[in-house]
């Protein structure tokens, strides 16, 4: 309307005398400029207000979604993991740093997996000296367990390695786990070993406040040496059920059980190793096996960024 009024003034200036025309032009021109500027400013202000409104709505929407997600996690914490890490073919730095932190805060350490060599290395890297460890590991006398692990590794690595060579590597992992537990005995109040005759598709480590569950058959992609892993809190159903089942197996008469303590001597370990594997180590073989584990521990320490304790 302002611009129309100004336009009328300018039009009228052409109908009057030169003096009136000059007067009307002097009045109308500034008014026209002011009107155009005011109109443009109004349009700009409307655009700015709309943009600010949209941004505010977007921020509010994000806030509401975050609150809903947090509430959903809180409502379902009995079933939902607090952390999920993807599978890989090499030790994952983040996983090991977080699980080492859980180890530093625990009194009981429960494990179920294949050889336990990473558990032994983790204990040797920790500052703890009084952990109660209960580990369910593969029985190296059971050929079916060795074959199942070898087949999985062939699939995970995606190579055409000779099956027999991979079986030897798998059996070597069992030996490394045993020597590792012996070397880590001074970090534990007691180490209870339970030998399983079945190849588990689940690997887990349980601490006082958490459980880390790794599935070798989660179906989310190709097989990996180190499985996709989830961390659940102490108040989760997964924690409570798995811990109860683990303790049941560790106390069952259906499995072979062995104990290593800080007082276990080298001679006693030789007897234990022979009973578990059916093979007695010579002094030279013991020294060589120990050196292999130290090399493995050093590689693991490099990945986790922690100092190895030899």
Rounded (5°) CA angle 267-116-154: 120
Average pLDDT over every residue of 112-131:
93
What is the reported pLDDT for 258?
97
Q: Give the least confident one: 13-27, 32-46, 122-136, 215-229.
A: 13-27
CB-CB contact of 239 with 210 (8 Å): yes
- Cβ 132 vs Cβ 108: under 8 Å: yes
Model pLDDT, residue 95 = 84
Same domain, yes or no: 91 and 27: no
Model confidence over 233-267: pLDDT tens digits? 999 999 999 999 999 999 999 999 999 999 999 99
Distances from the Cα of 281 to the Cα of 273, 300, 301, angstroms: 8, 25, 27
- 166 and 23 in one domain? no
State the pLDDT confidence band at 48, using cuts at 50, 70 and 90.
low
Of the three residues 18, 45, 60, the one that is the final residue of a domain is 60
pLDDT band at 172 (very low <50, low <70, confident <90, very high): very high
Same domain? For 48 and 89 the reply is: no
When divided into structural domains, the chain yields a total of 2
SS3 per-residue string spanning the chain: CHHHHHHHHHHHHCCCCHHHHHHHHHHHHHHHHHHHHHHHHHHHHHHHHHHHHHHHHHHHHHHHHHHHHHHHHHHCCCCCCCEEECCECCCCHHHHHHHHHHHHCCCEEEEECCCCHHHHHHHHHCCCCCEEEEEEEECCCCHHHHHHHHHHHHHHHCCCCCHHHHHHHHHHHHHHHHHHHHHCHHHEEEEEEEEECCCCCEEEEECCCEEEEEECCCCCCCCCCECEEEEEECCCHHHHHHHHHHHHHHCCCCCEEEEECCCCCHHHHHHHHHHHHCCCCCHHHHHHHHHHHHHHHHHHHHHHCCCCCC
Tell me: pLDDT of 14 over 60: no
Q: What are phi and psi of 24, to 5 degrees?
A: -65, -40
Within a domain: 145: yes
Whether residues 118 and 178 share a domain: the answer is yes
Question: For the whole model, what pTM was predicted?
Answer: 0.72
In a domain, 65, yes or no: no
Per the CB < 8 A criterion, the answer to whether 145 and 137 are in contact is: no
Distance set, CA 47 to CA 33, 34, 42, 43, 183 (Å): 21, 20, 9, 6, 72
Q: What pLDDT is attached to residue 309?
A: 58
Check which CATH number belongs to the domain holding 238 and give it: 3.30.870.10
Taking residues 40-67, what's their average pLDDT? 65
In a domain, 69, yes or no: no
Pair 50, 118 in one domain: no
Lowest mean pLDDT among 113-122, 163-172, 235-244: 163-172
Q: Is residue 74 part of a domain?
A: no
Q: Does 141 fall in a domain?
A: yes
In a domain, 137, yes or no: yes
The string of pLDDT tens digits covering residues 58-115 is 676 667 667 665 665 555 566 688 888 877 767 677 888 899 999 999 999 999 999 9
For 116, left (φ over 0), alpha (ψ -120 to 50), or beta?
left
What's the domain range around 9? 2-60
Based on the fold, state whether residues 44 and 166 are members of the same structural domain. Answer: no
Question: What pLDDT is recorded for position 269?
Answer: 98
Does 87 lie in the same domain as 56?
no
pLDDT-above-70 percentage for the chain? 67
Same-domain status, 36 and 178: no
* Domain match, 47 and 91 both: no
- Whether residue 239 is contained in a domain is answered as yes
Average the pLDDT over 284-295 and give the result: 97
Same domain, 257 and 174: yes
Same-domain status, 107 and 240: yes
166 is a domain residue: yes
Same domain, 192 and 263: yes
């Amino acid at each position: 309307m302002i611009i129309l009024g100004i336009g009328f003034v300018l039009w009228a200036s052409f109908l009057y005398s030169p003096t009136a025309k000059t007067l009307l032009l002097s009045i109308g021109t500034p008014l026209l400029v002011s009107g155009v500027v005011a109109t443009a400013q109004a349009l700009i202000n409307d655009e700015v207000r709309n943009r600010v409104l949209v941004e505010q709505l977007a921020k509010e929407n994000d806030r509401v979604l975050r609150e809903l997600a947090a509430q959903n996690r809180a409502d379902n914490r009995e079933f939902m993991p607090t952390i999920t890490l993807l599978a890989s073919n090499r030790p994952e730095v983040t996983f090991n740093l977080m699980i080492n932190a859980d180890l530093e805060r625990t009194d009981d350490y429960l494990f179920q997996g294949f050889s336990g060599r990473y558990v032994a290395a983790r204990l040797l890297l920790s500052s703890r000296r009084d952990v109660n460890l209960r580990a369910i590991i593969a029985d190296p006398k059971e050929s079916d367990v060795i074959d199942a692990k070898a087949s999985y590794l062939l699939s995970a690595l995606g190579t055409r390695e000779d099956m027999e060579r991979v079986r030897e590597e798998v059996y070597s992992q069992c030996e490394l786990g045993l020597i590792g537990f012996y070397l880590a005995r001074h970090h534990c109040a007691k180490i209870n070993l339970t030998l399983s005759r079945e190849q588990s598709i689940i690997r887990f480590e349980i601490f006082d406040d958490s459980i880390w569950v790794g599935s070798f058959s989660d179906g989310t992609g190709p097989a990996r040496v180190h499985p996709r892993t989830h961390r659940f809190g102490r108040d989760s159903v997964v924690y409570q059920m798995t811990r109860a089942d683990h303790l049941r197996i560790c106390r069952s008469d259906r499995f072979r059980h062995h104990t290593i303590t800080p007082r276990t001597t080298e001679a006693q370990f030789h007897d234990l190793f022979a009973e578990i594997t059916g093979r007695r180590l010579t002094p030279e073989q013991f020294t060589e096996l120990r050196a292999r584990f130290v090399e493995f521990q050093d590689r693991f320490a490099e990945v986790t960024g922690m100092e190895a304790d030899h």
